[in-house]
Amino acid sequence: MQWGDEGKGKLVDILAQKYEIVARAQGGANAGHTIYDTEGNKWKLHLLPSGILNPKAKCVIGNGVVVHLPSLLEEIEGMEARGVSVEGRLFISSRAHLLFDLHKEIDGRREEELAGTGKEIGTTRRGIGPAYASKAIRNGLRVGDLAHPDAFAAKLRALALDGQRRFADFDYDVEAEIASYRAIAARIAPYVSDTVHALNEWADEGRSILVEGANATMLDLDFGTYPYVTSSNPSIGGVVVGLGLAPRRLGATIGVAKAYTTRVGAGPYPTEIHGELADTLREVGAEYGTTTGRPRRVGWLDMVALRYAVRINGLTHLNLTKLDVLDGLKEIRVGVGYRTPEGDLPTVPADLETLERAEVVWETLPGWQQDISKARTWEDLPENAKKYVRFIESRLGVHVKWIGVGPGREAVVLKPLELPVGARS
């Protein structure tokens, strides 16, 4: 619901134990989901849906995802080496666009061009933006193209010309790539299917489907802090477009938000914390990227951005994660408004110039200064921790149903519904 890295993989893992199908709708291997199972084992996922850890769940990589097949095969091999089989359980959309090493090369070179200008996007350099650009200008290749080797080769040669024309010293062996994808095509073929048809058939049969988001609403291409955003729609609309499921299919919409905020990469960040406190929270919260290992920027909860995300996505429930990271604080600040010389802003503005000069309106709540990592019921939490959660609920008008108090699957508190009638939705 914010800038990402909010622990959604953990909730998907918990919920996936009860679902028959788990699907990814957008993004690519720039997304990283870290999960700790009941035995304390750590799992890092990038392209595979988090439901892969439920041996009974079918997992779908939808048409809206951009897929780097060598990375996906490596991830599959890593899972199978640890005893998790994807055989008969993984379905890759034939409509999903392929991300090639040339996209990664272009991504890195574009960031290097911006270096020192103050306009660096701070991408993961995984080629996500260039892959979606290929899709948008209609010279991209899709998973289904692998079934036609000659046409695939011709299309990839044409795509490689883009990089060669854009960068004078662009070094990319397209013939070697074509040869490697002939072998990849055979390995990936058992997983490729028409997932649009399959998902709708499963929905018609009444099968339970869980859609797993990647990235974050404030990084949404349309609704985020553009241009410091990802290249897809991680908001609710991406589900419809990225899977081919009609809006009427959608049921509960669950948002995941940290009890504070983090952000990776460049871009405005109104409630950012600097100095020793930021360093402390970063260490306590292990705020380093799953995919890149980069240290995350850290900030206080931003209720303006969170209300904005709640409205766009039509949330029915919220999962508040990492509440335990705030255990040692005497006071907790919350950004509750943006103020400019022209007046208060009712929501997140579209232009960054306005956002960057806005002053944050703060409220300060008392901390609880005790370890909550062993709490397993709402009653186990200290009163000030409850007050903090209730404060968030009252400002959003959304039930905070799950509260994360540690990294493990079992470290979750279920909160009873207490919202007053007529609360904001």
Q: Cite the annotated binding site for Mg(2+) by residue number.
A: 5, 32
Catalytic, 5? Answer yes
| Four-residue CA torsion sign, 357, 362, 367, 371 | negative
List residues forming the annotated binding site.
4-10, 30-34, 124, 138, 215, 230, 290-296, 322-324, 404-406
Exactly one of 5, 13, 145, 302 is catalytic; name it: 5
Lookup result for tokens 């705030």 = 326
Catalytic, 258? Answer no
Exactly one of 68, 103, 104, 135 is catalytic; name it: 135
Exactly one of 33, 68, 103, 104 is catalytic; name it: 33
Strand pairing category for 331-340 and 359-366: antiparallel
Helix (H) or strand (E) holding 45: strand 42-45
Q: Kindly list the distances between the CA atom of residue 393 and the CA atoms of 272, 328, 386, in Å, as whole numbers in the listed order.
A: 22, 22, 11
Catalytic, 135? Answer yes
**E strand segments, 201-349:** 209-212, 254-258, 261-263, 297-299, 301-302, 317-321, 331-340, 343-345
Q: Kindly list the distances between the CA atom of residue 314 and the CA atoms of 253, 387, 424, in Å, as whole numbers in the listed order.
A: 7, 24, 11
List residues forming the annotated binding site for substrate.
290-296
- Contact indicator for 253, 238 with CB cutoff of 8 Å: no
Q: Is the peptide bond before 227 cis (omega within 30 degrees of 0)?
A: yes
List residues forming the annotated binding site for IMP.
5-8, 30-33, 124, 138, 215, 230, 294
Q: Kindly list the distances between the CA atom of residue 241 and the CA atoms of 9, 103, 236, 342, 348, in Å, as whole numbers in the listed order.
A: 22, 23, 9, 38, 25
Give the catalytic positions in this structure: 5, 33, 135
